[in-house]
């Protein structure tokens, strides 16, 4: 990524200022996990069975644990380390949960955690082509981010996405039932849009089309908006959750992430969810039943987006 500073139509290049040590990346990310990934930092350098997780974090939305690993060199296997560490996480649930409860003063039980949404994030200034290709599978429970440091105190973070249609689960039978890939794949599920759109085989096509129309409109509102797919919802996030989508056969529901009294719903079409248990973030739910509802949906979502940007 090249960065420039603009002044009077003239551009000045902002030069890279590379991280000197892997630990420098770790300190920066651990101090900013809520902003960067929407995660709660639990423990740095957690030792598990003679191995060490760089950062153990917790995703409050999905009630799942996330491991973050930082790399500066190229001599490691993302696949091998990723599956080994996820296996360690799943095989030491009681110890991981105890660390979370003691560190954060919580009282969660093992059944409160959705272990199926466990994942690992790798962060490096640069991944090799081999490392990129080794994780080029659909539904892989890993995320790769490249991080760059520049002069002027600027930092860039870029998510690397896959373009593969090959499901990682298809490799499990080949790997054999004793392989760590097979063991982890039995318990960890990477949820994607297809899971929500097509898990019900009777889903009408017009619902799928309506969702994609909404998605295009929401993503065009601001370049900072990202898609985050969870077990129960498809979320749109800026600095935090803007709204969450729940797919039904009779409509597409949108949970607006604003507290009761903060939303201008002048048509009175939103349901008050403040006193009800529900999926998603926020106290309002609006259900789209046709593309005629799109404009009003965007009107509501914009209010939540502005709230996150203020």
Residue 234: Cβ-neighbour burial (10 angstroms; 0-12, 13-18, 19+): buried
Q: Are residues 13 and 36 in the same domain?
A: yes
Same domain (yes/no): 215, 145: no
22, containing H or E segment: helix 22-30
Q: How many separate domains does the chain show?
A: 2
Pair 110, 224 in one domain: no
Lowest mean pLDDT among 68-72, 98-102, 119-123, 254-258: 68-72
208 closest CA partner among 221, 194, 218, 219: 194
Give the phi and the psi of residue 116 in degrees, each rounded to 5: -70, -15
Write out the residue range of the structural domain in which residue 110 sits: 3-187
Task: Write down the mean pLDDT value for the chain.
Answer: 90
- At residue 169, the pLDDT reads 59
Q: pLDDT tens digit string along 206-256?
A: 999 999 999 999 999 998 899 999 999 999 998 789 999 999 999 999 999
What angle in degrees, to the nearest 10, is found between the helix axes of 205-219 and 294-309?
Answer: 40
**Could you tell me the CATH number of the domain that includes residue 22?**
3.40.1350.10
Last residue of a domain, one of 159, 187, 215: 187
pTM across the whole model: 0.81
Do residues 198 and 232 share a domain?
A: yes
Other CB atoms within a 10 A radius of the CB of residue 23 amount to 12
Same domain, yes or no: 162 and 198: no
Cα 59 from chain centre: 9
* CA Rg value for the chain: 21
Both 179 and 128 in one domain: the answer is yes
């Amino acid at each position: 990524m090249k960065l420039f500073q603009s002044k009077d139509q003239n551009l000045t290049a902002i030069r890279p200022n590379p991280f000197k040590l892997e630990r420098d990346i770790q300190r920066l990310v651990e101090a900013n996990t809520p902003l960067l990934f929407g995660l709660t930092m639990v423990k740095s350098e957690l030792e598990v069975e003679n191995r060490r997780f760089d950062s153990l974090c917790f995703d409050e939305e999905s009630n799942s644990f996330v491991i973050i690993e930082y790399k500066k060199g190229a001599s490691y296997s993302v696949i091998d380390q990723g599956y080994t560490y996820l296996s360690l996480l799943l095989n030491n649930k009681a110890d991981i949960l105890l660390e979370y409860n003691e560190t954060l003063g919580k009282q969660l039980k093992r059944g409160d955690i959705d272990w199926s949404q466990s994942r690992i994030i790798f962060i490096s200034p640069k991944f090799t082509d081999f490392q990129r290709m080794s994780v080029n599978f659909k539904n892989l429970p890993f995320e790769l981010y490249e991080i760059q440091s520049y002069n002027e105190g600027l930092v860039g973070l870029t998510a690397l996405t896959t373009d593969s249609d090959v499901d990682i689960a298809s490799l499990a039978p080949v790997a054999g039932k004793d392989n760590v890939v097979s063991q982890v794949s039995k318990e960890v599920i990477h949820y994607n849009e297809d899971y929500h759109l097509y898990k019900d085989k009777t889903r009408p096509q017009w619902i799928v089309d309506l969702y994609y129309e909404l998605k295009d409109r929401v993503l065009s509102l601001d370049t900072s908006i990202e898609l985050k797919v969870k077990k129960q919802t498809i979320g749109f996030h800026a600095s935090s959750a803007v709204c969450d989508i729940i797919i039904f056969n009779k409509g597409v529901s949108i949970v607006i992430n604003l507290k009761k009294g903060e939303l201008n719903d002048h048509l009175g079409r939103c349901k008050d969810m403040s006193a009800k248990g529900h999926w998603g973030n926020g106290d309002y739910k609006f259900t789209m039943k046709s593309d005629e509802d799109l404009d009003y949906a965007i009107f509501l979502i914009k209010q939540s987006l502005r709230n996150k940007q203020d």
